[in-house]
Amino acid sequence: MKKGNRPFGKILMILMIVFFYLPIVYMIIFSFNEGKSLTSFTGFSLRWYQHMLESNDMMESLYTTFSVAIIATLISTVVGTIAAIGLSKSKKIIRDIMEQVDNLPLMNPEIVTAIGFMLLFITFKVEKGYVTMLLAHIAFCIPYVILSVMPKIRSLDPNLADAAMDLGATPSQALVKVIVPQITPGIISGSLIAFTMSVDDFIISYFVTGGGVKNLSIMVYTMSKRVNPSINAISTLVVVIITVVLVLINVAPAFLAKRAKKDEIKGRRMMVPAVAAICVVLAIVGVRGLNNKTSSRPYEGQTLYVYNWGEYTGENILRDFEEETGAKVVMENFDSNEQMYIKVANGEAYDILVPSDYMIQRLIQEGYLQKLDHSKLDCMDKLTDDVKNLPYDPGNEYSVPYFWGTVGIVYDKNKVDIRDLEREGYNIFLDEKYRGDIYLYDSERDAFMMALKALGYSMNTENSQELQEAFDWLVQCVQTMEPEIVMDEIIDNMAQGRKALGLIYSGDATYVMDENENMGYYLPETGTNLWSDAMVIPKNAKNPELAHAFINYASDYAGAYDNSSYVGYTSANQEVMEDLSGEGGDFEGINAYIPRSDNEMDEVFVYNEATKKEISNLWSKVKIAASNAD
């Protein structure tokens, strides 16, 4: 580069560094924010670090991440190094074939590798959990080690080992004392790459884990439905851990070099990463130990397996339940009712599920649920009548309501005239005044509910002609209005006022309105989906006794209040609902929090397999029309 270009190069380098590190600095700063907002710093607080340390889920995920990464790195480094040395002594045709086989996992899309591992474990009936995650990580780390070590081996004199043995060394001595020291830089590089890939992995881990075992990537994914500052805290902790390890790796050898001979330094340099890694694991294990308390409690030593939506539990409910009962709660999270159904249908055992109304109806019909023992439940009288005895489960024989709500329109009061909403209802999504300024929710059920209600039809219609009209309505919307089709990102986007309006769940609208006073929530008079999510016990549950205890706890005032105040969705507990929406409550004046229950046009979804498939196919065509319009 010419001298005249050097200032430009320096500026470009500085900008690249700022671009890379600024988000990390931003994350660290807001990990100390007293409030939940990511845009407004309301004051310094260690609240989210305390929440992180008190969360067994987060500490378990931290332990799982680093323990798996360290064990996988050690094993893959040994196996990969031995394999690389062995390949260097093999015939050329074997070496070439194996090198291509080694390159295949590196070039293969991760999702393909993940599904392959999942099918392998399912085929051989291997119970998914910590061991399966570890095995998968070892498998995909080995090729990176081989790839790093092979160039170093190729650069060696091929007669080096023979010369060592001619001088009296045994084959093992020649390997350990002659070959390995020469290829040490390649081994270290391979092990660091393997460690990084393991810590960073999400896709493969997500498909091969089970039994509530989660690494940090899975944990952050399940917490990302809405802004959770605990993500910032645990991410900051990871940054600190990695920084400490890097400092030890880079500074310690130079420090040791002043106090030891050259031959000793090489051995110690190899030990530094391992020692640092062991210190990290011991520290995490120590933190975990602080969270494990023992005493004589009614369910001491028992484990409750819960399968729930991501970000659908309060800050303290799981910890408080564990402290009161002595049980351990293992919670896995799902993104959709259909994802949950697949796991249940494949025989995975949970003690409690929290599906939606129509999915509960399906699970009942297909025999996947057991009836509740109402003699063990003392919570039913505490629940509002509006969520009891609903069509999907008359008499609440199988389910106890958890959250409930509606689907409506969230809108910016500064951009949308309330008279337009009152006059047009859902048809406002066809009003070209708001073209390019709307969100559609990427849910076939809710999108077709909106279109059917706009046309004056029942959202549970089985009439193909009416469904076709709803399809045409949606196609017109995506082709003329240029909507952005989103999922949970609508929550933070509307909280920041990025669009004029969008279709949203009432609980998410509650959060949006709580964050931004300029946001409103409107329910068209033509009706909406009056939905309910409820706790049920699968037929193959291993601990139904403890499941009943948790249902009581989650439905009682303390548990229900913690859930609802933190998540923002409406509690089924009548007293909690009144307190949170009443004077001085967290959601005072927010109409989205109290579901409408006096409109005859509002409906509960009914499960119908044939109609569901028809709607799924039509929604796929709507999204194709949207992409073509773009």
230 and 112 in a single domain? The answer is yes
- Of 23-37, 412-426, 574-588, the poorest mean pLDDT is in 23-37
68 and 104 in a single domain? The answer is yes
Mean pLDDT confidence for 71-97: 91
Q: Is residue 593 part of a domain?
A: no
Question: Would you state the pLDDT for residue 276?
Answer: 54
Question: Would you state the pLDDT for residue 21?
Answer: 87
Is it the case that residue 485 has pLDDT exceeding 90? yes
Is it the case that residue 273 has pLDDT exceeding 90? no
277 and 128 in a single domain? The answer is yes
Mean pLDDT confidence for 582-604: 94
Is it the case that residue 292 has pLDDT exceeding 60? no
Question: Would you state the pLDDT for residue 417?
Answer: 94
Note down the domain range covering 120.
Answer: 56-291
Question: Would you state the pLDDT for residue 97?
Answer: 86
DSSP conformation class of 133: H
Q: Decide which of 474 and 50 is more confident.
A: 474
For the chain, what percent of residues have pLDDT higher than 90? 60
Is it the case that residue 255 has pLDDT exceeding 80? no
Q: Is residue 45 part of a domain?
A: yes
611 three-class SS: helix
pLDDT tens digits, one per residue of 344-400: 998 889 999 999 999 999 999 999 999 999 999 999 999 999 999 999 999 999 999
Mean pLDDT confidence for 430-447: 95
Q: Is residue 441 part of a domain?
A: yes
Structure tokens at 53: 């340390």
- Top-confidence range, 131-145, 165-179, 210-224, 481-495: 131-145
Q: Is residue 269 part of a domain?
A: yes
260 and 352 in a single domain? The answer is no
Q: Is residue 591 part of a domain?
A: no
Mean pLDDT confidence for 496-505: 95
Is it the case that residue 290 has pLDDT exceeding 60? no
Question: Would you state the pLDDT for residue 1?
Answer: 47
State the pLDDT confidence band at 91, using cuts at 50, 70 and 90. Answer: confident
Give the count of alpha carbons within 13 A of 514, CB side only.
23
226 three-class SS: coil
Q: CA nearest 536: which of 390, 350, 365?
A: 350
428 and 570 in a single domain? The answer is no
570 and 431 in a single domain? The answer is no
Is it the case that residue 267 has pLDDT exceeding 80? no
Is it the case that residue 467 has pLDDT exceeding 90? yes
Q: What is the mean pLDDT of the chain?
A: 88
Distance CA 564, CA 476 (A): 37
Distance CA 225, CA 334 (A): 11
Task: Count structural domains, the chain.
Answer: 4
Q: Decide which of 149 and 41 is more confident.
A: 149
Question: Would you state the pLDDT for residue 252?
Answer: 67
562 and 519 in a single domain? The answer is no
Is it the case that residue 517 has pLDDT exceeding 80? yes
- Of 49-53, 244-248, 345-349, 537-541, the poorest mean pLDDT is in 244-248
350 and 431 in a single domain? The answer is no
Question: Would you state the pLDDT for residue 277?
Answer: 55
Total residues belonging to the chain: 630
Question: Would you state the pLDDT for residue 294?
Answer: 47
- Of 181-190, 233-242, 320-329, 536-545, the poorest mean pLDDT is in 233-242
Question: Would you state the pLDDT for residue 93?
Answer: 87
Is it the case that residue 284 has pLDDT exceeding 70? no
333 three-class SS: strand
Q: Is residue 595 part of a domain?
A: no
State the pLDDT confidence band at 162, using cuts at 50, 70 and 90. Answer: confident
Question: Would you state the pLDDT for residue 4?
Answer: 55
- Of 30-39, 42-51, 202-211, 218-227, the poorest mean pLDDT is in 218-227
43 and 61 in a single domain? The answer is no
Is it the case that residue 466 has pLDDT exceeding 70? yes
Question: Would you state the pLDDT for residue 5?
Answer: 62
State the pLDDT confidence band at 59, using cuts at 50, 70 and 90. Answer: confident
477 and 510 in a single domain? The answer is yes
Is it the case that residue 293 has pLDDT exceeding 50? no
Mean pLDDT confidence for 480-495: 91
- Top-confidence range, 231-235, 296-300, 314-318, 465-469: 465-469
What b/e sequence results for 149-167 when a residue is b if at least 16 CB atoms lie within 10 Å of its CB, and e otherwise? bbebbeeeeeeebeebeee
Q: Is residue 439 part of a domain?
A: yes
256 and 350 in a single domain? The answer is no
> For the domain that residue 334 is a member of, what is the CATH number?
3.40.190.10
Question: Would you state the pLDDT for residue 145?
Answer: 95
Angle (CA) 590 594 595, round 5°? 130
Is it the case that residue 27 has pLDDT exceeding 50? yes
> For the domain that residue 109 is a member of, what is the CATH number?
1.10.3720.10
Q: Is 303 exposed, middle or buried (0-12, 13-18, 19+ CB in 10 A)?
A: middle
Question: Would you state the pLDDT for residue 283?
Answer: 54
Is it the case that residue 41 has pLDDT exceeding 90? no
Question: Would you state the pLDDT for residue 164?
Answer: 84
Q: Is residue 170 part of a domain?
A: yes
Question: Would you state the pLDDT for residue 265?
Answer: 46
DSSP conformation class of 297: -
Give the count of alpha carbons within 13 A of 23, CB side only.
4
Question: Would you state the pLDDT for residue 268?
Answer: 46
DSSP states along 365-432: HTT-B----GGG---GGGB-GGGSS-TTSGGGSSEEEEEEE-EEEEEETTTS-HHHHHHHGGGGGG-G
DSSP conformation class of 525: T
201 and 260 in a single domain? The answer is yes
DSSP conformation class of 156: S
Q: In angstroms, how far apart are the furthest CA atoms of the chain?
A: 96
For the chain, what percent of residues have pLDDT higher than 70? 90
